[in-house]
Amino acid sequence: MAEAETQSEAGPGLKRLMDVLAASPGVKIAACAAALGDLPEAMPVRGPEIGLVMVRGRIGGDGAPFNLGEAAVTRATVRLAGGTVGHAYALGQDRAKARLCAVLAAMWSEGAHRDDIEAQVLTPLAAARAEEVSRVKREAAATRVDFFTMVRGDD
């Protein structure tokens, strides 16, 4: 029962953490996690292992679904010494990223490290991601072309 309570308390914050970790490169995650100091010992429960998932698409966002193609996904599950389990999926074949994300998820679920993870990992990665999105939007806006129609005179 205690584990279920811990998992439900971690819910929204854990989702935000996993969203940010999934969108961040493994190198940046490792650099931010290094600021936490020594990470706790984590026993592998599953993986990291690489598999394929089918990516589905819809034309216009609401059309009939179709199979767009396959994408590689790496998943990992770890258990900390206290028994807390962390799971992570990472797009691509980066085993180290998946394992590190699983360790951070388990640490977040324990609760004792949430403030440190928030300050040292989550906030810097979220800021870097927001800056990257802003940069891409600025680059796209610079190449935008506005087409218009000129009315010809009455000849």
**Which tokens hold the place of 136?**
């891409």
3-class SS string, 13-68? HHHHHHHHHHHCCHHHHHHHHHCCCCCCCEEEEEEEEEEEEEEEEEHHHCCCEEEE
Task: Decide if 141 is inside a domain.
Answer: no
Task: Decide if 66 is inside a domain.
Answer: yes
Overall domain count for the chain:
1
Task: Decide if 82 is inside a domain.
Answer: yes
pTM beyond cutoff 0.85: no
Average pLDDT over the chain reads 86
Whether 122 shows a pLDDT value over 80: the answer reads yes
- State residue 86 phi and psi, 5-degree precision: -125, 140
pLDDT for 75 equals 94
**pLDDT tens digits along 126-150:** 999 999 999 999 998 888 887 776 6
Task: Decide if 98 is inside a domain.
Answer: yes
**CB of 83 within 8 A of CB of 92?**
no
pLDDT for 150 equals 67
Q: What percent of the chain has pLDDT over 90?
A: 46
Task: Decide if 42 is inside a domain.
Answer: yes
Whether 24 shows a pLDDT value over 70: the answer reads yes
Number of residues in the chain: 155
**Cis previous bond, 124, omega within 30:** no
Task: Decide if 1 is inside a domain.
Answer: no
**Which tokens hold the place of 22?**
């999934």
Please state, in angstroms and rounded to a whole number, the distance separating the CA atoms of residues 53 and 59. Answer: 20
- State which residues form the domain around 100: 11-127
Task: Decide if 101 is inside a domain.
Answer: yes
Task: Decide if 91 is inside a domain.
Answer: yes
Average pLDDT over residues 107-120: 86
Residue with tokens 């691509």: 92
Q: What is the pLDDT confidence band of residue 11, given thresholds at 50, 70 and 90? A: low
Average pLDDT over residues 14-20: 89
